[in-house]
Homo-oligomer: A and B are copies of this chain.
């Protein structure tokens, strides 16, 4: 099964690319079939070469490596992509994983660690070094805590009203559902808006989703 594994490498730094390619070629059964220095040529050359795995740097001249992940994945859905970069922000990591990366490895680790990672990825696993995993876990926890403390003094009733509104009910329907007058519903909204410092339902929902936008990611 080590027959002839073809690899693709996208990395703009010449020096580092040389080292990388040499290390990979030294591994029995592996061969670096494509080398690219930027995102555009990666998109041009990689799909045709049909490699078994892609090693991708994020910081590239021009379009970022993150941008090419979805497009590569679209053309080579079953080919694992490992991101290899110095960027260690949780957001970047999560974005890469969402885009379809199978692994995320920080530059600076040992070469043998990297080779192991590639092996794991070829075997169908996903790769996260403890440092990267730490970031992902941080992201999860911040995501969680970013949701709860949304506690800007809204009363129970106000939450009820807001939740119904967030499901698309309008004032009249809410008043029916809660068995109160429309004017009362309006009053609740009035108070909600004041507490949140906004001026419309959409604003309120945006605020509660903390600026994340209600439909980022299309």
Contacts and interface: CB of A to CB of B under 8 A. Distances in A.
Interface of A: 94, 97-103, 120, 123-128, 130-131, 133-134, 136-137, 140-141, 143-144, 147-148, 150, 159, 162-163, 165-168, 170, 198, 200-203, 205-206, 208-209, 211, 213-218
Contacts of A144: 98-99, 217
Closest 3 CB pairs of A and B: A125-B130, A126-B133, A126-B134
B124 A134 contact: yes
Contact of A215 (B126, B208, B213, B218): B208
Nearest to A167: B213
Contact of A167 (B127, B134, B206): B206
Contact of A202 (B97, B148, B201): B201
B141 A131 contact: no
A68 to B, nearest CB: 16
Given A168-B202, A168-B203, A213-B163, A136 B136 contact: yes
Contacts of A166: 202, 206, 213-215
Given A166-B214, A215-B209, A126 B120 contact: no
B120 A125 contact: no
Nearest to A134: B126
Contact of A217 (B97, B147, B168, B217): B147
Contacts of A203: 168
A215 B208 CA distance: 7
Contact of A214 (B126, B134, B209, B216): B209
Contacts of A100: 141
Given A102-B134, A159-B218, 14 more contacts: A97-B141, A98-B143, A98-B144, A120-B130, A124-B134, A125-B134, A126-B136, A127-B130, A127-B133, A147-B215, A163-B215, A165-B202, A166-B206, A208-B214
29 contacts: A97-B136, A97-B137, A97-B140, A97-B141, A98-B143, A99-B144, A100-B141, A101-B137, A102-B134, A120-B130, A123-B130, A124-B134, A126-B130, A128-B128, A128-B133, A136-B136, A147-B218, A150-B218, A166-B206, A166-B213, A166-B215, A167-B206, A168-B202, A168-B206, A205-B214, A205-B215, A208-B215, A209-B214, A209-B215
